[in-house]
C-alpha cells in the first residue's frame, strides 16, 4: 500500500503567512516578544512531536520538522492566537490544542460506497454560520438528571421522549436544533469537513484519538438540552442502551416501532430483538445465547479492566498541526465500533445509517448507544487503580468544539468543561456491571505454541499458520501471520521488598503496539490479534473472545472523505501486562503474535509490531 507520510511542507501550507523552511524560526518582528539579549536556541527537551503520546517525546521520530516544537512554529505564524501576555514570560508555554473550527471553512464531505466502488456521493453536513460565538458556562445544577437504561423506561417517559424527538424532527431544516442538523454535527466532525485552524491541509477528526470521549459527551449534552427545551422540561434526560449487560444486549424495544419517531428504517433487520448484540463484530455467528453473553462480557472486561492508563483508555494524543487518527482507545476500537456495525444496514451502499460516520447520527439509537459509551467513561474512573484518571495534558484540556445550544447560540466549549458529568447536570441510572468479574480463560498456560511441520496441520483450520520469524515489515495482511516479538524487559518479581527502581518499573504497563496500520478510510477492515495462541488444540476451534489468548481486534468504521482511496494511517495499542501473567509467560523473552484478517482481507498493511512500556 502507498504510504501517506506527511512532509514538512504539508504542515506549513498556510494562506496568510510565510515561513522560511530552512530555519523554521519566526520573522524578526515576530520574535520581538523574546528577550533580545538571548537569541533563540533550540531546546531538545521541549520537543513536541506529532508522534508523541500524551506529551512525551518520541525519540524515534527523525522528521526535520518534528525536531522543532510546533508551538514555536505556531508563534511564528501568529502566536497571538494563544495569548501574547503569557508568551512574554515563557515562550515555551505555548499550547497546541485542536482549536474550534471556523464554520465558514466547512467543506462538503465525500463518501464512497462500502466495498471499494469508485462512485462518490457529496454530503453537505455543514451547519449554519453564526457571526457570534459565546464561550461555554457550566450550568447551575440544582437537580441531577438521570439517564435511564433504555430497556427499562416506562410509558410516561417514552411518551415524553417521543414527543421531544417528534418536535425536533419538525423544526425547519435550517434550524441548527433540527434533527437533521444535529445528525450533521457528527458528519462534519467525523468525515473531515472541518480543516484545522492554521493547518488547513490537516482535517479535524474526533475519532481515533483522545478527543473521542469528550467530543461525544458534549455532543450528547447539547442534543439532550435541545430536546428538554422543546418539551419545556429542563430535567429531561436521554436514555442509554446498556449493551454491556445481558438485560440490555438486545436492541431496545422502544426503537423498533415503525410508527415511532425513534424508528429508523436503515438498520440490519436480522438484528432486531430478541437478537443479542455481538460486541466482537458485525458478522453473525452460530453462538448460543449463553456463549454470546459470555463473549460480550469477556470483551468488556478487556476494554475496561485491562486498560489501566489514560492513553490506553482515551486514545493517543492529537495536537494542532498533526495528522488525524493517531490511535484509538480501548472502548472506541472495541464495543463502540462493533455496535455501530451491528446496527447498520449492510444492504445500503454506505451501510447506513449506523454503519458509517456520515449517517450514524440520523438513527435515534445512535444517541442511546453513545450515552452508554459515555457511561463507560464514568465507570472507568471508579475502577481500582491510581492511574484511572482524566488526562492532565492541557493540549487535551484546551481542545475546543463548536455546538449550537437549545437557544440557537453558537457555543465554544473545551474538553476541560466536560470532565465531570454531574457538573453538567446529569448522571446514569445505576445497574449491575456483570463484566467486572468476567476474565477470559486461558486455553493453555505456560506453553509456547507448537511449531509444526508445513504439511502437518489439519485442513480447514481457521488459525492454521506457521510461526514465521523471517517476516519483513511492512506487510499486506492477506492471510494469517504468526511471528515472535521480543520483549525488551522481562516481568518484574512481585516477591519480597522492591527498591525504588523496581517499584517504578512495576508501574509501567507492558503493551503490544501495532504501528503504521494503513488502509482506505472507507474500507470496513477488521483483523484480530492473539498472543501465544495454538491453532492445533484438540477441539479444533480458533481462538475467540472467551479465550485469554485473544487480545482484541482492529475495526474500521467507514468515514471516507476527499479523493477516492484516501488513506487512514493509525496505531493500535493493547495492554498485555495482566495477560502475560494469566498465560504464565511473564518470564519469556519473546511472545508469539498472530494477526488474523476477518473482513476485507488484503486491504490493510501493517508497518511494524513491537512491545513497549508506558507509564502515564
- Residue ranges of the domains in the chain? 103-428, 463-614
The whole-number average pLDDT for the span 27-31 is: 33
Catalytic residue among 151, 271, 333, 340: 340
Catalytic residue among 151, 271, 351, 370: 370
The whole-number average pLDDT for the span 262-270 is: 97
Integer Cα distance of 332 and 349 in angstroms: 24
Residue 471 Cα to chain centre, angstroms: 29
Q: From the CA atom positions of the chain, what is the Rg in Å? A: 25
With b for 16 or more beta-carbon neighbours within 10 A and e for fewer, the 18-40 pattern comes to eeeeeebbbeeebeebeeeeeee
For residue 340, indicate whether it is catalytic: yes
Identify the bridge partners of residue 530 per DSSP, sorted by sequence position.
550, 594
Integer Cα distance of 231 and 236 in angstroms: 9
Locate 105 and state its grid cell: 471553512
Please check if 336 is assigned to a binding site: yes
For residue 216, indicate whether it is catalytic: yes
- Of 227, 220, 226, the closest CA to residue 164 belongs to 227
The C-alpha torsion from 199 through 200 and 205 to 211, rounded to 10°, is 30
- Of 248, 33, 280, 268, the closest CA to residue 150 belongs to 248
Please check if 559 is assigned to a binding site: no
Please check if 340 is assigned to a binding site: yes
Integer Cα distance of 51 and 35 in angstroms: 31
- CB-count exposure of residue 63 (10 Å: 0-12, 13-18, 19+): middle
SS3 letters for 587-601?
A: CCCEEEEEEEEEECC
Integer Cα distance of 529 and 534 in angstroms: 13
Please check if 186 is assigned to a binding site: yes
Whether the CB-CB separation of 295 and 544 falls below 8 Å is answered with yes
Q: For the segment 323-338, what is each residue's pLDDT rounded down to a tens digit?
A: 999 999 999 999 999 9
- Of 471, 591, 595, the closest CA to residue 532 belongs to 591
Integer Cα distance of 301 and 282 in angstroms: 19
**What does the pLDDT read at residue 489?**
84
At 574 the three-state DSSP class reads: strand
Please check if 370 is assigned to a binding site: yes
Poorest-confidence range of 304-308, 469-473, 567-571?
Answer: 469-473
For residue 207, indicate whether it is catalytic: yes
**What does the pLDDT read at residue 352?**
94
The residue with greater pLDDT, 350 or 311, is: 311
Please check if 207 is assigned to a binding site: yes
pLDDT beyond 80 at 514: yes
Q: How far is CA 240 from CA 225, 257, 460, 542, 583, in A?
A: 15, 17, 42, 34, 36
Map grid coordinates 498472530 to a residue. Answer: 594
**Percent of the chain whose pLDDT exceeds 90:** 64
Report angle CA 242, 245, 248 to the nearest 5 degrees: 55
Q: How confident is the model at residue 496 (pLDDT cuts 50, 70, 90)?
A: very low
**Percent of the chain whose pLDDT exceeds 70:** 75
- Of 425, 428, 427, the closest CA to residue 140 belongs to 425
- For 407, which DSSP code? T
Please state the φ and ψ torsions of residue 148, each to the nearest 5 degrees. -95, 155
Residue 380 Cα to chain centre, angstroms: 15
Q: How confident is the model at residue 112 (pLDDT cuts 50, 70, 90)?
A: low
For residue 151, indicate whether it is catalytic: no
Poorest-confidence range of 73-77, 305-309, 394-398?
Answer: 73-77
Catalytic residue among 151, 216, 271, 351: 216
For residue 561, indicate whether it is catalytic: no
**The CATH number of domain 463-614 is 3.40.50:** no
Locate 129 and state its grid cell: 454560520
Catalytic residue among 161, 215, 357, 483: 357
Catalytic residue among 151, 207, 271, 333: 207
Locate 404 and state its grid cell: 449550537
For residue 105, indicate whether it is catalytic: no
- Cis peptide, bond prior to residue 274, ω within 30 of zero: yes
- Longest Cα–Cα distance of the chain, Å, equals 76
- For 50, which DSSP code? T
Q: How confident is the model at residue 89 (pLDDT cuts 50, 70, 90)?
A: very low
Q: How confident is the model at residue 161 (pLDDT cuts 50, 70, 90)?
A: very high
Q: What is the chain's mean pLDDT, rounded?
A: 81
Q: How far is CA 129 from CA 124, 191, 199, 243, 267, in A?
A: 13, 18, 20, 37, 32
Integer Cα distance of 188 and 403 in angstroms: 11
A 10 A CB-CB count for 13 gives 10
Report the run of H or E that residue 195 belongs to, with start and end.
strand 195-196
pLDDT beyond 50 at 75: no
Q: How confident is the model at residue 71 (pLDDT cuts 50, 70, 90)?
A: very low
Identify the bridge partners of residue 599 per DSSP, sorted by sequence position.
526
Catalytic residue among 24, 68, 179, 186: 186
Whether the CB-CB separation of 223 and 238 falls below 8 Å is answered with yes
The C-alpha torsion from 498 through 500 and 505 to 506, rounded to 10°, is 40
Q: For the segment 114-128, what is each residue's pLDDT rounded down to a tens digit?
A: 554 556 677 899 999
Integer Cα distance of 435 and 450 in angstroms: 32
Map grid coordinates 478510510 to a residue. Answer: 521
The whole-number average pLDDT for the span 459-483 is: 76
Catalytic residue among 336, 351, 369, 561: 336
| Inter-axis angle of helices 289-304 and 365-380, nearest 10 | 50
**What does the pLDDT read at residue 206?**
97
SS3 letters for 108-177?
A: CEEECCCCCCCCCEEECCCCCCCCCEEECCCCCCCCCEEECEHHHCCHHHHHHHHHHHHHHHHCCCCCCC
* DSSP state string for 481-539: EEEEEE-SSPPPP-SS---HHHHHHHTPEEEEEEEEEEEETT---EEEEEES--TT-TT
Whether the CB-CB separation of 226 and 177 falls below 8 Å is answered with yes
Evaluated on CA atoms 130, 179, 223, 208, the torsion sign reads negative
Integer Cα distance of 105 and 200 in angstroms: 9
At 428 the three-state DSSP class reads: strand
For residue 34, indicate whether it is catalytic: no
Q: How confident is the model at residue 506 (pLDDT cuts 50, 70, 90)?
A: low
**What does the pLDDT read at residue 467?**
81
Please state the φ and ψ torsions of residue 483, each to the nearest 5 degrees. -160, 160
Locate 454 and state its grid cell: 508445513
For 103-428, which CATH class? Answer: mainly alpha
Q: For the segment 127-155, what is each residue's pLDDT rounded down to a tens digit?
A: 999 989 999 999 999 999 999 999 999 99
Q: How many residues does the chain have?
A: 616
Whether the CB-CB separation of 167 and 257 falls below 8 Å is answered with no
Q: For the segment 223-261, what is each residue's pLDDT rounded down to a tens digit?
A: 999 999 999 999 999 999 999 999 999 999 999 999 999
Amino acid at each position: 500500500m502507498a504510504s501517506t507520510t506527511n512532509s514538512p511542507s504539508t504542515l506549513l501550507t498556510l494562506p496568510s503567512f510565510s515561513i522560511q523552511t530552512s530555519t523554521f524560526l519566526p520573522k524578526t518582528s515576530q520574535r520581538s516578544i523574546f528577550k533580545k539579549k538571548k537569541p533563540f536556541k533550540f531546546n531538545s527537551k521541549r520537543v513536541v512531536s506529532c508522534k508523541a503520546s500524551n506529551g512525551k517525546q518520541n525519540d524515534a521520530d527523525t522528521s526535520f520538522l518534528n525536531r522543532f516544537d510546533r508551538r514555536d512554529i505556531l508563534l511564528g505564524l501568529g502566536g497571538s492566537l494563544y495569548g501574547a501576555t503569557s508568551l512574554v514570560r515563557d515562550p515555551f508555554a505555548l499550547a497546541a490544542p485542536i482549536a474550534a473550527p471556523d464554520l465558514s471553512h466547512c467543506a462538503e464531505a465525500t463518501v464512497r460506497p462500502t466495498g471499494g466502488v469508485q462512485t462518490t456521493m457529496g454530503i453537505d453536513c455543514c451547519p449554519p454560520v453564526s457571526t457570534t460565538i459565546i464561550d461555554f458556562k457550566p450550568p447551575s445544577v440544582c437537580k441531577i438528571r438521570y439517564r435511564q437504561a433504555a430497556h427499562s423506561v416506562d410509558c410516561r417517559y417514552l411518551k415524553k421522549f417521543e414527543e421531544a424527538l417528534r418536535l425536533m424532527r419538525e423544526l425547519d431544516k435550517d434550524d441548527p436544533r433540527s434533527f437533521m442538523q444535529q445528525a450533521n454535527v457528527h458528519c462534519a466532525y467525523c468525515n473531515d469537513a472541518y480543516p484545522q485552524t492554521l493547518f488547513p491541509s490537516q482535517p479535524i477528526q474526533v475519532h481515533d484519538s483522545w478527543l473521542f470521549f469528550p467530543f461525544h459527551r458534549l455532543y450528547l449534552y447539547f442534543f439532550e438540552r435541545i430536546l428538554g427545551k422543546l418539551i419545556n422540561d429542563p430535567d429531561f434526560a436521554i436514555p442509554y442502551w446498556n449493551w454491556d449487560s445481558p438485560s440490555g444486549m438486545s436492541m431496545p424495544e422502544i426503537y423498533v416501532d415503525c410508527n415511532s419517531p425513534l424508528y429508523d428504517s436503515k438498520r440490519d433487520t436480522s438484528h432486531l430483538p430478541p437478537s443479542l448484540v455481538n460486541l466482537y463484530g458485525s458478522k453473525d455467528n452460530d453462538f448460543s445465547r449463553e456463549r454470546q453473553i459470555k463473549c460480550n462480557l469477556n470483551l468488556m472486561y478487556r476494554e475496561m479492566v485491562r486498560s489501566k492508563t489514560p492513553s490506553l483508555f482515551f486514545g493517543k494524543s492529537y495536537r494542532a498541526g498533526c495528522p488525524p487518527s493517531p490511535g484509538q482507545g480501548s472502548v472506541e476500537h472495541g464495543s463502540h465500533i462493533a455496535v455501530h456495525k451491528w446496527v447498520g444496514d449492510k444492504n445500503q451502499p454506505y451501510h447506513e445509517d449506523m454503519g458509517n460516520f456520515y449517517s450514524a447520527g440520523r438513527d435515534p439509537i445512535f444517541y442511546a448507544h453513545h450515552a452508554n459509551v459515555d457511561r463507560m467513561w464514568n465507570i472507568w474512573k471508579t475502577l481500582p487503580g491510581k492511574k484511572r484518571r482524566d488526562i492532565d495534558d492541557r493540549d487535551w484540556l484546551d481542545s475546543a468544539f463548536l455546538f449550537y445550544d437549545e437557544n440557537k447560540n453558537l457555543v465554544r466549549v473545551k474538553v476541560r468543561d466536560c470532565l465531570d458529568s454531574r457538573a453538567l447536570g446529569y448522571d446514569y441510572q445505576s445497574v449491575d456491571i456483570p463484566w467486572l468479574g468476567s476474565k477470559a480463560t486461558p486455553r493453555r498456560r505456560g506453553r509456547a505454541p507448537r511449531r509444526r511441520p508445513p504439511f502437518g496441520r489439519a485442513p480447514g483450520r481457521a488459525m492454521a499458520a506457521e510461526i514465521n520469524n523471517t517476516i519483513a515489515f511492512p506487510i499486506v495482511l492477506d492471510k494469517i501471520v504468526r511471528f515472535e516479538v521480543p520483549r525488551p524487559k522481562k516481568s518484574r518479581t512481585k516477591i519480597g521488598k522492591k527498591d525504588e527502581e523496581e517499584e517504578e518499573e512495576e508501574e509501567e504497563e507492558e503493551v503490544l503496539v501495532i504501528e503504521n496500520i494503513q488502509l482506505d478510510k472507507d474500507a470496513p477492515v477488521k483483523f484480530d490479534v492473539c498472543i501465544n495462541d495454538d491453532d492445533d488444540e484438540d477441539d479444533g476451534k480458533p481462538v475467540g473472545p472467551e479465550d485469554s489468548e485473544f487480545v482484541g481486534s482492529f475495526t474500521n468504521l467507514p468515514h471516507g472523505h476527499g479523493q477516492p482511496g484516501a488513506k487512514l494511517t493509525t496505531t493500535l495499542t493493547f495492554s498485555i501486562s495482566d495477560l502475560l501473567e494469566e498465560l504464565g509467560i511473564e518470564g519469556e523473552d519473546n511472545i508469539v503474535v498472530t494477526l488474523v484478517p476477518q473482513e476485507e482481507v488484503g486491504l490493510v498493511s501493517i508497518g511494524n509490531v513491537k512491545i513497549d512500556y508506558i507509564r502515564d
